[in-house]
């Protein structure tokens, strides 16, 4: 940009004149920038809507009893919820999954599962060589391979044996070796990490123990054992673990200690507060979408102001899809429930959902499986919440969904406007340079004319005529 003359000769405020001319010619640019700002705002609103719809979809899928692709039933997305309790938590505790059934079960814990453990004899230190070159040690831990060690030319200490066992490629965490110091002597301790008789540990070695005795101290051996319990009054059960998932349907038993002959009652009850919370989470997410649409796509009859998304066809489609998914009637053979209103989920004239917990509890008491079917469907026809989740999928899919397409369209328009703005600003900069040059030329011309006028004035006053 040229140096502005500042009107020193003409007396004009050329800076203000140039700024005014540039501002006048910038008015189309201001309109483009305003359009870009509106597009950016609307894009942000659509992104917010997508976030709210995804939250709604997630809430629906948590109680639609379907898998993540809506292609089949799955208890991982389950309406029903249960709790399990033990009347003696020192013996066992219990957890219940959604596939559990209410009831009371008798369990006797005769033995708990344990891991195997072997101890070496007592050595005076852990760093002296106790295995000579070529001597071997092999550990069978119930795996497909054994852990095999052969001492090298320099022999091996207890610490060397420990490290070799822990780092053996066949180990993979199945065995843990440690060196135990009892205050006087040191022992190699080899422990299995898995419980159950099939995972017991045995050591075969030709390494000499202390005082020329055996390397393994058999008196300290701890044998791996299975859990033994009696359920339903008379059924004996054997398992390799203390976390037992396949005895009481839908219940995991966590065995703590054995008490042979003592009957422990495991009570499984329906968890209504958790069920209510799941349904309420859906209602809150649904109403959150409704509030968003009211604020940004509605029309205020009092202020006569419409939201920025008012009349948008995509918005109208979303509204119609959501309402249509919930207010329709559902019909499943033998199912007494045909609408959400029957089970306590109602929608008012403004489109707001609400939950009547008393009606929902009564429906659960009447027929929990029928209620579950109303929400999820029968495998052929969708239930209420599966219908919502399925309807939202083509709207919210990350790359190909309706809202993703709209977002991409906004980005393309904003990029195009950015290009227009850059070109327009470049033209304005050149126009400003031209104006500065023109006004500078004007000042130069006026300065020359003023100089000539001064010379003529001096000639006239002296009366001399130049030769």
pLDDT tens-place values along the chain, 467 residues long: 444 445 555 566 777 887 788 788 878 888 998 899 999 999 999 999 999 999 999 999 988 888 777 888 876 668 889 999 999 999 999 999 988 999 999 999 999 999 999 999 999 999 999 999 999 999 999 877 899 999 999 999 999 999 999 999 999 999 999 999 999 999 999 999 999 999 999 999 999 999 889 999 999 999 999 999 999 989 999 999 999 999 999 999 999 999 999 999 999 999 999 999 999 999 999 999 999 999 999 888 888 899 999 989 999 999 888 888 888 889 999 999 999 999 999 999 888 999 999 999 999 999 999 999 999 998 889 999 999 999 999 999 988 999 999 999 999 999 999 999 999 888 888 888 888 777 777 767 777 776 776 666 666 665 555 55
Q: Which distant-in-sequence residues (6+ apart) come within 8 Å of 162 by Cβ?
A: 177, 178, 179, 188
Q: Is 277 left (phi over 0), alpha (psi -120 to 50) or beta?
A: alpha
Whether residue 430 contacts residue 62, with contact meaning beta carbons closer than 8 Å, is answered with no
What pTM was estimated for this model as a whole?
0.73
Residue 127 lies in a domain: yes
Helices (H), 62-184: 158-167
Domains in the chain, number:
3
- Domain edge (last residue) among 242, 270, 298: 270
In this structure, the answer to whether residues 104 and 44 fall within a common structural domain is no
Angle between helices 384-396 and 368-376 (to 10 degrees): 20
In this structure, the answer to whether residues 277 and 413 fall within a common structural domain is yes
In this structure, the answer to whether residues 332 and 436 fall within a common structural domain is yes
Q: What is the DSSP letter of 340?
A: G
In this structure, the answer to whether residues 311 and 401 fall within a common structural domain is yes
In this structure, the answer to whether residues 92 and 188 fall within a common structural domain is no
Residue 466 lies in a domain: no
* Cα–Cα dist 212/50, whole Å: 76
In this structure, the answer to whether residues 283 and 345 fall within a common structural domain is yes
Residue 88 lies in a domain: yes
In this structure, the answer to whether residues 375 and 452 fall within a common structural domain is yes
- Domain edge (last residue) among 203, 220, 237: 220
* Cα–Cα dist 374/377, whole Å: 6
In this structure, the answer to whether residues 354 and 207 fall within a common structural domain is no
Whether residue 396 contacts residue 403, with contact meaning beta carbons closer than 8 Å, is answered with yes
In 3D space, the residue among 150, 204, 211, 206 whose CA is nearest the CA of residue 185 turns out to be: 211
* Cα–Cα dist 384/358, whole Å: 20
Residue 286 lies in a domain: yes
Domain extent, residue 28, equals 1-81+272-460
Structure tokens at 115: 């891991």
In 3D space, the residue among 8, 122, 46 whose CA is nearest the CA of residue 309 turns out to be: 46
Count other Cβ atoms within 10 Å, centred on residue 464.
9
pLDDT attached to residue 5: 47
In this structure, the answer to whether residues 324 and 216 fall within a common structural domain is no
Residue 465 lies in a domain: no
Residue 69 CA to chain centroid, in angstroms? 17
Residue 467 lies in a domain: no
- Domain edge (last residue) among 270, 289, 305: 270
In this structure, the answer to whether residues 188 and 235 fall within a common structural domain is no
In this structure, the answer to whether residues 309 and 379 fall within a common structural domain is yes
73: exposed, middle or buried (Cβ count in 10 Å: 0-12, 13-18, 19+):
middle
Buried b (16+ CB within 10 A) or exposed e, 337-347: bebbebbbbbb
Residue 205 lies in a domain: yes
Buried b (16+ CB within 10 A) or exposed e, 245-279: eebbebbbbebbebbeeeebebebebbeeebbebb
End-to-end CA distance of the chain: 45
In this structure, the answer to whether residues 311 and 454 fall within a common structural domain is yes
């Amino acid at each position: 940009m040229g140096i502005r003359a500042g009107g020193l000769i003409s007396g004009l405020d050329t800076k203000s004149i140039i700024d005014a001319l540039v501002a006048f010619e910038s008015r189309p640019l201001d309109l483009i920038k305003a359009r870009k700002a509106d597009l950016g705002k609307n894009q942000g609103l659509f992104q917010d809507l997508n976030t709210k719809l995804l939250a709604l979809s997630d809430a629906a899928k948590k109680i639609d009893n379907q898998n993540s692709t809506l292609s089949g039933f799955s208890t991982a997305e389950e309406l029903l919820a249960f709790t399990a309790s033990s009347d003696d938590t020192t013996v066992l505790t219990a957890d219940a999954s959604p596939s559990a059934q209410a009831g009371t079960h008798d369990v006797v814990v005769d033995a708990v599962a344990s891991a195997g453990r072997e101890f070496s004899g007592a050595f005076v230190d852990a760093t002296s060589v106790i295995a000579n070159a070529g001597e071997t040690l092999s550990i069978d831990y119930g795996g497909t391979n054994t852990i095999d060690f052969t001492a090298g030319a320099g022999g091996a200490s207890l610490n060397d044996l420990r490290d070799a066992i822990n780092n053996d490629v066949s180990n993979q965490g199945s065995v843990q070796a440690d060196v135990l110091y009892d205050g006087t002597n040191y022992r190699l301790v080899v422990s299995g990490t898995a419980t159950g008789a099939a995972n017991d540990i045995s050591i075969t070695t030709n390494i000499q123990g202390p005082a020329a005795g055996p390397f393994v101290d058999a008196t300290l051996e701890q044998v791996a054992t299975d859990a033994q319990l009696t359920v339903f009054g008379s059924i004996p059960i054997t398992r390799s673990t203390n976390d037992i998932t396949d005895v009481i349907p839908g219940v995991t038993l966590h065995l703590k200690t054995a008490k042979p002959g003592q009957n422990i009652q495991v009570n499984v009850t329906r968890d209504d507060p958790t069920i209510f919370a799941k349904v309420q989470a859906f209602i809150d997410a649904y109403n959150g979408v409704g509030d968003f649409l009211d604020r940004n796509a509605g029309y205020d009859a009092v202020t006569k102001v419409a939201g920025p998304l008012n009349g948008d066809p995509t918005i109208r489609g979303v509204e119609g899809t959501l309402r249509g998914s919930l207010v329709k009637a559902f019909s499943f053979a033998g199912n007494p429930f045909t609408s959400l209103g029957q089970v306590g989920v109602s929608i008012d004239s403004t489109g707001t959902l609400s939950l009547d917990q008393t009606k929902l509890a009564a429906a659960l008491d009447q027929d929990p499986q029928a209620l579950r079917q109303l929400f999820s469907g029968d495998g052929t026809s969708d239930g209420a919440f599966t219908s919502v989740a399925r309807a939202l999928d083509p709207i919210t899919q990350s790359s190909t969904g309706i809202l993703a397409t709209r977002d991409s369209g906004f980005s393309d328009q904003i990029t195009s406007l950015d290009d227009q703005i850059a070109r327009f600003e470049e033209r304005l900069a050149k126009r400003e340079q031209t104006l500065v040059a023109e006004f500078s030329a004007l000042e130069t011309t006026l300065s020359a004319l003023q100089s000539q006028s001064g010379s003529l004035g001096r000639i006239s006053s002296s009366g001399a005529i130049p030769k």
